[in-house]
Amino acid sequence: MITLQRFTHHHSSRMKGVVFLICFVFAGFDLLAQTQSGIKAVLSELTDNSDPSKGSVTIRQDPRIEELMEKRKDIQPPASHHSSTIGSFTTNVRSGTGYRVQVFSSNAQRQAKDQAYAVQSKIKNKFPQLPVYVSYTSPFWKVRIGDCQTMEEAQQLRVNVKKAFPEFQQETYVVRDKIFLPAY
């Protein structure tokens, strides 16, 4: 009698495991199907106003967003090698390995982000045509400038920046980085 109870209990827990596994697999298929339907389908369904008995969502975009995107494109273009359409403008960019001049790096938790953007603003005011990149790689905020294809070009940019901003003297150096190359 004891052996029969152990046998039944052992197979009962094993059966629960099999049922759990089957449910887990079917839940995964359902999640995959939802993911494959895509964001556009969800947005389309949310904004569909054809059935008044259903609720609807209206997406309104502030016109200043497109203006900001226009300004942002010359600061940090998308990292790709194809035509990219953002808002009403199209850019042709490609990326490659090159050099930038790092002018700021800090991991001071409370001020580093504000300092990085202040440095970016200062450089953009003096050199508006120069691309300035602010990045965060935990725990460091960094400001790098330029898209130099050669070390010599980067060294010359470093000299010019040090002349224009003597306060960056200690932190300014050339780094190898992924850069944006002119489109051909």
pLDDT score, position 79? 42
Whether 26 and 48 share a structural domain = yes
Inter-CA distances, 102 with 17, 23, 26, 170, 172, Å: 56, 53, 51, 11, 6
Is there a single domain that holds both residue 47 and residue 76? no
Q: Are residues 21 and 107 in the same domain?
A: no
Q: Are residues 5 and 45 in the same domain?
A: yes
Same domain, 34 and 119: no
In terms of residue numbers, what domain contains 175? 71-181
Total number of domains constituting the chain: 2
CA distances from 89 to 8, 66, 69 (A): 70, 9, 9
The model carries a pTM of 0.52
Using the 3D structure, point to which of 31, 60, 89 is the last residue of a domain: 60
103 and 129 belong to one structural domain: yes
Looking at the structure, do residues 116 and 149 belong to the same domain, yes or no? yes
16 has a pLDDT exceeding 60: yes
Question: What is the β-pairing status of strands 173-181 and 94-106?
Answer: antiparallel
My answer on whether 53 and 87 are in the same domain is: no
Where residue 63 falls among pLDDT bands split at 50, 70, 90? confident
Is 66 contained in some domain? no
3-state secondary structure of 36: helix
The answer to whether 134 and 165 have CB atoms below 8 angstroms apart is: no
Question: What is residue 71's predicted lDDT score, i.e. its pLDDT?
Answer: 64
* Residue 86 and residue 38 in one domain: no
What would the pLDDT profile of 70-112 be if each residue is shown by its tens digit? 666 555 544 434 444 444 445 566 788 999 999 999 999 889 9
Report how far residue 110's alpha carbon sits from residue 61's, in angstroms, rounded to the nearest whole number.
32
Residue 31 has pLDDT above 80, yes or no: no
